[in-house]
Structure formats: structure tokens, C-alpha cells
Amino acid sequence: MNYQEERAEYDLLAETDAGREVLGEGWKSLPEAPIAPMLDPSLLPPVLRNMAEAVAANQSAPFDLPAIIGLGVASACAAGRVRVALRTGWSEAAQLYQLCIMESGEGKTPAFKAMTGLLMDEQAKENKYRVPQTCKDETALRILEKKKHKAVEKGNLIEAQSLDDEILSYPKTYLMRRFIGGNVTPERLPDIMNENNGATSILDDEGELFELLAGRYQDRPNLDPWLKGYSGDTPLTSERKSGSTIVDNPNLSVLILAQPCILKGLFEDERMTGKGLLGRFLMSAPIPLQEYQEELDIPSAVLEDYNSRVLQLMDVPSATLTMTTEASAAFFEWRKEVKHRKYGEYSPLCKWGYIGKLAGNTARLAGLVKLWDNPDVSTPITINHLRSAIGLAEYFAGNLLAMMQQESPISRNGKSVLELILQQKEKPIKESIIKQKLKDRKRAFPDGNAMEVALSELEKKGYIYRRKTTGNGRPSVQIDIHPQLDGGDVMVL
């Protein structure tokens, strides 16, 4: 018998009454809420890594926060322009949907401004030049509309149709809206995409987008712009009273910084989970610094290198990135590994279709790592870029696992029963008393089977132990509480 077999036999015996009597206080440790992994700086190219480290030091923030925003910056610039070829018939848009969760006061907004400020400044400069022409174009279009209206009134159908064609084909100048905030409605988003060659990027440091999608302005907002904007290859049609908008190749990049309070609503929103919108998001919850650190200035050389690279990213041309042979082989090996892990450690990630998109998101990350490293789109994604992308994918997957399991290591009914058990002052605690009190909670515990499921869950996970006793009367079951709970050392999540 090898060690693993001996250990398995030992664990089985330890769960018996005789085993507990021998082991005495040999309770297993209670399940702990997992800790989200930290982002390894070595996964990022030097320009982004140096800036993220400098901003983190400047804001006393975790390195993860500006690093994640930096990935969102590259994604925003690449949206609608760059794809990653994987094999014949399969390419991924080099744009991400990201959600970063941190408490208020942990530096989200200052880090956001430091990393995205140049994008907004350059867009504002461009729009100053465009404003005069947009005014001229609007005037010209109003004149054409009036002419068409007169032609219709006179019954001159040919002239009216000719003017209609002229209006539709008029080369109107629009303001640049490559980078927008989160407070944009589903009806307006397709128009913005059309005005910007089919692509735009939502950069939201207040979590407004999810409030909007959850129904702030309407009960069931249309999710199509966000669902189709992820892939970038399915036409989007928006129907309104004023007419239809068709976006042939809608492309959308999303970066949202929000507070933890939105998670519960997100995970319970049947539309966003059922339609697979959440499965498209790479989520993270950076761990705040536990002690104050001196806030250092961002070195001028670091800032100069970063700004120079951001300008290059803004000007990146339309292209399809390829992988080296070695990188391609490693990608498909990683894809196999993801499929294998979904039956093990990644099994909770099968929710919302997240696991099915993890390999594709890895390819997108590889494209963005490559662009940060070298924005020349004629050069391929290398094995080092791919390895970094895999590390980033594991980071995001680990963060989501932590978020999902931190909600509660036990079910709602299990938590309800455990709280009831802990409230009992009379010892020993009799299972019959607990079941009797649960009968008053008919919605959650309509029958004895529901009670048994919750009690079995608590026992299996080590919170309680049910011990059969025999005395002068009928046999009964008493409930022992884990010493950590009995002493108040563990909070029931």
C-alpha cells in the first residue's frame, strides 16, 4: 500500500465514531476563503511594468491596479484594429472586457487618471480640430433636409429621393469617441461605434456601466452591443423610432473599476450571467497594501517612455497578428490544459461560459503583451509573449475563483442552519431541536430532506459533527461544533 492509499484509508477511519474517539480533538481546519493571487510584475513588458510600479509607488496602491489599467489602455487602442490569428477560421480580437474590484479610497481613480490620462488628452485635442467642421457639416445637412422636405411637399418624388441619397452619403465629420465613459446607453452605443469606424472603448472608473446594464434607466436594457462588440465579427443592428443603425463589425473594449458591492448583484443577474456577458470579463480584486508606504514621484524617464508607447499604440494600424510556430504550439497546449482543468480546480469557472472563453482571452492577452513590448504589427507574437499571457490568464482565473468562493464557502441553507446551531445556548445541542425550529422556515426547508441536505453539507465540510448517543430513552443525535466556531474564532460568511 502506497502513501496515498494509506492516507485515504486514514481519512475514512478518522471520520468514524471510533476514529473520533481515538483522535479526540482532531478536527480538520475549517475551509478558508481563498486569497486572490497577486500579479507577477515579470509578466509585463518593461515599459508597462515600470509605469505600473511607479504609479503604484506614487499612489500607495497595489501593483495589480495600474497594471490592469495598462492592459485596458492597450486594449482600448487595439479595439477594431488588431486581431490575433490562431488557425484557419479562428482569430480573436485583441480587445478585453475587464472588471477590477477594489474598495473606495484604495486609489482606483488616481491610478486610472495616471494610466489613461494621455488617451483622453489626445482625444480632446483631436476634437478641438474637428468641432468647426462638425458644425459646418450639421448646417449643410439641415439645408439638405429642408430641401428634401420642400420636395416632398411639392410631390416631387425623384428630387426627394435624390436628396435622400445625398444626405445618406454626405461625408459628415464626427467627434472622436474612441474612448468613452461607462454612462452610455445601449441605444447610443451603436451610433458611437458607427461614428468611429465601428469601434469604441469604455473606460469606466466608477462602475456606472453595470448600474446601467442592471436597469437604472430601463427594466431590460439591450445587451447586444456588449455581446457582439466582444467578438467584433457579427453585425449589430439597433432598432429605434428614429430609424435603424447597423454596425457591420462592432468592436468594443471595456475596462471597469468598481467597488465590491456590485459583485452580489452581478453574480445573481440572470440576464448577464445567462447570456454569457459576465463570462467575457477578466475579473480581478487586487489586495490593498496593508501598511502605508512613502508616495514617490513618478520618474520622468518612466513617464516619458510610457507616454511615447501609448501614442504608438493609439496609432497602431489595422492588422492581424500572427504567432511564431513555438508560440502557436504552446497556445494549443494551454488550451488543452484549460479543458483538463475545468474538471478540477477550474470547475467553478464553467459558470457563465467563462472557461470556454479563457483560451481565447489568453490569445487576446498575448496580442496586448506583444503590442506593449513592440507595437510593430509586422512582427509576430513570440513564445515569451504567450507565456506571459498564460500567466496573466491564470492570474485572472485565480482572482475570479477567489471572488466566487468568498461569497460563502457554504450554501445559503447551510449558512442558515449553522447560524441557528450557533445560537443555541443549551448544551449538548440536539439535532431534533434544530429540525423542529427549521420547520418554521418552510420556504427554505419545506421538508426533512432539505434539512438533511444542509446538515450533511455542514458535517462534510467540517463545521459540525453529528454524534449518535444512546441513553435510558430512545437513541438521539447530538451536534458537536467545530472548536474554532465554538470559540468565536471564525466568522460565518
Q: Please check whether residue 5 lies inside any domain of the structure.
A: no
Are 294 and 162 contained in the same domain?
A: yes
Q: Is residue 88 part of a domain?
A: yes
Does residue 293 share a domain with residue 267?
Answer: yes
pLDDT in tens, 401-451: 888 876 556 776 887 888 889 888 888 899 999 999 998 888 888 888 889
Q: How far apart are CA 306 and CA 298, in angstroms?
A: 11
Could you tell me if residue 4 is inside a domain?
no
- Residue 86 inside a domain? The answer is yes
205: number of CA atoms within 13 Å, CB side?
20
Could you tell me if 112 and 260 lie in one domain? yes
Please tell me what DSSP assigns to residue 104. T
Residues 370 and 482 in one domain: no
**Domain boundary residue among 352, 381, 406?**
406
Q: Are residues 98 and 15 in the same domain?
A: no
Report the side by side order of strands in the sheet with 429-430: 429-430, 476-481, 464-469
> Domain containing 184: what range?
41-406
What integer is the mean pLDDT of 477-485? Answer: 86
477 and 357 share one domain: no
Are 451 and 308 in a shared domain?
A: no
Question: Please, are residues 256 and 202 in contact by the beta-carbon 8 Å criterion?
Answer: yes
Number of domains forming the structure of the chain: 2
Task: Decide if 384 is inside a domain.
Answer: yes
Domain termination site, one of 382, 406, 430: 406
Q: Is 433 found in the same domain as 382? A: no
Q: Give pLDDT tens digits for 74-125.
A: 999 999 999 999 999 999 999 999 999 998 888 999 999 999 999 999 999 9
Quote the CA–CA distance of 194 and 118 in Å, as a whole number: 24
Note whether 361 and 451 are same-domain residues: no
pLDDT for 462 beyond 90: no
Q: What is the CATH number of the domain that holds 414?
A: 1.10.10.10
Query: Helices then strands (H, E): number in the chain?
Result: 19, 13
Q: Within its chain, how far is the Cα of 36 from the centroid?
A: 14
Residue where a domain stops, chosen among 406, 427, 442: 406
387: exposed, middle or buried (Cβ count in 10 Å: 0-12, 13-18, 19+): middle
CB distance 223 to 68 below 8 Å: no
Q: Which residues pair with 476 in a beta bridge?
A: 469
6 lies in some domain:
no
Kindly report the pTM of this predicted structure: 0.76
Residue 232 lies in a domain: yes
Mean pLDDT comparison of 10-14, 203-207, 242-246, 280-284, highest-scoring range: 280-284
Residues 192 and 329 in one domain: yes
The answer to whether residue 63 sits within a structural domain is: yes
Dihedral (Cα; 412, 417, 420, 422), 10-degree rounding: -100
Q: What is the pLDDT of residues 306-365, one digit of tens each?
A: 999 999 999 999 999 999 999 999 999 999 999 999 888 888 898 888 999 999 999 999
Residues 6 or more apart whose CB falls under 8 angstroms from that of 35 comprise 287, 402
Q: State whether 476 and 454 are in the same domain.
A: yes
Asked if residue 223 lies in contact with residue 275, where contact means CB atoms within 8 angstroms, the answer is yes
The enclosing domain of 76 has a CATH number of 3.40.50
Q: Which of 86, 73, 148, 140 is nearest to 362 (CA)?
A: 86
Give the helix/strand (H/E) hosting 407: none
Q: DSSP character for 443?
A: T
- Rounded Cα–Cα distance for residues 358 and 394 (Å): 9
155 and 184 co-located in one domain: yes
pLDDT at 409: 63
